[in-house]
Amino acid sequence: MGISENKRQKQLAKKKKKRKMKKTATVSAVGGSSNALRLAKQSAIMPIHECLVSEELFDGNGIGSVVISRKMSGADFAISVILLDVFCLGVKNAFFRVVSSTEYGELINHIGMNETLKSVEPACARKLVEECIEYARKIGFKPHPDYEPVQYIFGDIEVDSCTESYTFGKGGKPFYIAGPHDDTAKVRRILKTLQESCGEGNYEYMAGIESL
């Protein structure tokens, strides 16, 4: 009986672990997950934990992360990570997750392996993201679809208290730098959009193809 009971307990533990993994996967998802959207909206009223921005954002290729996190109930954190292209495309990627304190630290360390993250005021984090989105919209680019649930973490943060000023583009023009995963078709679509919205000579690009 002792062995049978022990086996039963192990089976129950395995089932519990599977349920927990499934729940975590749902919480970590974005876009089509209604649970993730619900949690993102709930996070908006929780206390701000920290807001971080890549120090290199306006240097190099103009791409870097904006991180906004809030302290949830228990030991969990809600975190939104937004990858910005401040030279051209606006929000290139984004995700929202609810993670443990350990997972939060690991995630921040992982981002910090490629970027130098600095602390900023919540108002400035929101202002930076939303002004970058507006800049990109004017030249024909929408935020990545996964930004829709991610943005709820801003909640009632007001941008008026941010005194920082942000200038997008490079040298007064949109500057598209093709990423390693941008195939020829995507590059041509982006260049076509720039040609139509900005006109010849009013944008720059760096890509492995000739002009349109």
Each residue of 29-49: pLDDT tens digit? 344 457 778 888 999 999 999
Residue 117 tokens, joined: 């993250």
pLDDT beyond 70 at 2: no
144 φ, ψ (degrees, to nearest 5)? -55, 140
- In this prediction, residues 118-135 reach a mean pLDDT of 98
Residue 18 tokens, joined: 């599977």
Contact yes or no for 121/162 (Cβ under 8 A): yes
pLDDT beyond 50 at 198: yes
Q: Flag the least confident range among 68-82, 120-134, 198-212.
A: 198-212
Q: What CA–CA distance (Å, rounded) separates 183 from 162?
A: 38
Nearest CA to 68 out of 89, 84, 56 is that of 84
Q: What is the pLDDT of residue 179?
A: 86
Residue 13 tokens, joined: 């533990």
* Helix, strand, coil percentages in the chain from 3-state DSSP, rounded to 5: 40, 25, 35
pLDDT beyond 70 at 111: yes
Global pTM value: 0.81
Q: What CA–CA distance (Å, rounded) separates 7 from 174?
A: 63
- In this prediction, residues 46-75 reach a mean pLDDT of 94
**In what order do the strands lie in the sheet containing 48-54?**
90-100, 76-85, 63-71, 48-54, 117-119
Q: Flag the least confident range among 23-27, 93-97, 104-108, 194-198.
A: 23-27
Contact yes or no for 133/90 (Cβ under 8 A): yes
Q: What CA–CA distance (Å, rounded) separates 118 from 106?
A: 17
pLDDT digits (tens, 9 = 90+) for 3-15: 455 555 555 554 4
Residue 208: pLDDT band by 50, 70, 90 thresholds? Answer: low
64 φ, ψ (degrees, to nearest 5)? -170, 175
Positive or negative torsion for Cα 57, 127, 50, 66: negative
Q: What is the pLDDT of residue 5?
A: 57
Per-domain boundaries in the chain = 30-154, 175-206
